[in-house]
Amino acid sequence: KADKGYIGHKAAKMMKRSKSIEKRQQAAVAAKSQLLKNLESSDSLKIAQLDYHKSRLAELEDVSIFYGTKAVCRNINFTIEQGDRIALLGKNGSGKSSILKLLCGEDISCTGNLRRGSGLKISYVAQDTSQLAGNLSDYAARYGVDESLFKAILRKLDFSRVQFEKDMSAFSAGQKKKVLIARSLCEKVHLHIWDEPLNYIDVISRMQIEELLLQYTPTILFVEHDSEFCKNIATKVIEL
């Protein structure tokens, strides 16, 4: 014979558990709805660089870059001041990417003097996007950037809501590059360093990235082959 008291107790526990799950689901839906609401209402994005305590952020003096024993560029001299938007130009293999990596602290074979400001914070966008995988929310958390702002920038770069649910490994090369750019713009730094940011990116999105840079005027050093973009964005040009 069934124990009605036991059955009633089990039923009550199951109902309580069901209500708890429902509450968690409702809370998750509410949080997601608020995030999407933030995205839709963020016409004015809160993008802001950190102020550095000096006007000069970095300086290269007579820097030469070597691949093995071969010098690929010699006696490079330039400074990066707050507010600069510098285009670094040169032929393929002329050491442009190596100079960017050197400024970011990578171990690059070189001679000459590199002076970087003490405590200088840099956000780097690499050419390679192949390492991107996982979801956008986890990616934002890993880099400590504001998820609402990060996704709002992606929305401005024509990401659909559906893409927010996908694994980044399934993104196109252009979409992956947009992820790197959006993350970089969210990071609290003194200097952005971007290596060919417009690779694989469509014309409309190129214009939107240009608009963001002109609107928020971050200090940036970049390598880019798009001459029109360089002309519109750069306040200084360094040719190797």
The CATH number linked to 115 is 3.40.50.300
Supply the Cα-derived Rg of the chain in whole angstroms: 24
Residues 4, 113 within the same domain: no
Residues 230, 208 within the same domain: yes
Q: Which residue segment(s) compose the domain that 4 sits in?
A: 1-41
Residues 49, 7 within the same domain: no
Q: What is the pLDDT of residue 35?
A: 46
| CA–CA distance, 97 with 135 (Å, rounded to integer) | 28
Neighbours of 221 (CB within 10 A): 25
Residues 3, 97 within the same domain: no
| CA–CA distance, 178 with 132 (Å, rounded to integer) | 11
Amino acid at 225: H
In three-state secondary structure terms, 60 is strand
User: Mean pLDDT for each consecutive 10-residue tract of the chain (240 residues)?
Assistant: 58 66 62 47 69 96 94 96 96 94 95 96 95 95 94 91 93 95 96 95 90 92 95 96
H/E segment holding residue 191? strand 191-195
Q: What is the DSSP letter of 5?
A: H
| CA–CA distance, 135 with 229 (Å, rounded to integer) | 30
| CA–CA distance, 83 with 62 (Å, rounded to integer) | 23
Q: What is the pLDDT of residue 43?
A: 52
Closest CA to 80 of 42, 120, 47, 50: 120
Q: Token pair for residue 134? A: 């996982």
In this structure, the strands spanning 122-125 and 191-195 are: parallel
| CA–CA distance, 111 with 174 (Å, rounded to integer) | 35
Residue 13 burial (CB < 10 Å; 0-12/13-18/19+)? Answer: exposed
Residues 18, 125 within the same domain: no
Residues 8, 105 within the same domain: no
Q: What is the pLDDT of residue 42?
A: 41
In three-state secondary structure terms, 122 is strand
Q: What is the pLDDT of residue 45?
A: 72
Residues 144, 107 within the same domain: yes
Residues 131, 200 within the same domain: yes
The mean pLDDT value of the chain amounts to: 87
Give the count of domains, the chain: 2
Residues 64, 27 within the same domain: no
In this structure, the strands spanning 70-81 and 56-67 are: antiparallel
Question: Considering the entire predicted model, what is its pTM?
Answer: 0.80
Residues 84, 173 within the same domain: yes
Residues 65, 22 within the same domain: no
Residues 65, 18 within the same domain: no
